Amino acid sequence: GAGVSQSPSNKVTEKGKDVELRCDPISGHTALYWYRQSLGQGLEFLIYFQGNSAPDKSGLPSDRFSAERTGGSVSTLTIQRTQQEDSAVYLCASSASGREETQYFGPGTRLLVL
């Protein structure tokens, strides 16, 4: 079946602009995660959605970052007033349920803030 998909594949934006990154999880997966991969910080957890529960936002680096998940499926990660340090690859993953399932990753969105 189809895997996790993300769009766009690459995004170039100017400092101060807002960006939206999209993630389509594997159909039927109730858990969805966002991670950020940067040269300096490695792979960092950002946010976790599980079913209809309140999301775990403990990894979001600032209030410029937010995410939502509509209808328990598609998720959008929004970065407001982008900064150069936001340049990174943003990875989305989904799993069949919560803690006990393997996470399957999408191909990521590479964000470059000029």
Partner 1 sequence: AQTVTQSQPEMSVQEAETVTLSCTYDTSESDYYLFWYKQPPSRQMILVIRQEAYKQQNATENRFSVNFQKAAKSFSLKISDSQLGDAAMYFCAYRSMLGSQGNLIFGKGTKLSVKP
7 or 15: CB nearest partner 1: 7
48 or 65: CB nearest partner 1: 48
Q: How far is the CB of 8 from partner 1 (least distance, A)?
A: 13
35 or 82: CB nearest partner 1: 35
Q: How far is the CB of 5 from partner 1 (least distance, A)?
A: 11
DSSP reduced 3-state for 86: helix
Instruction: Quote helix, strand, coil % in the chain, to nearest 5.
Output: 5, 50, 50
For residue 4, CA distances in Å to 49, 55, 60, 76 come to 15, 19, 21, 13
Tell me the sheet residues that pair with 20: 78
Name the residues that contact partner 1, by CB under 8 A. Answer: 31, 33, 35, 42-43, 45, 48, 50, 53, 56, 59, 89, 91, 93, 95, 98-100, 102-108, 110
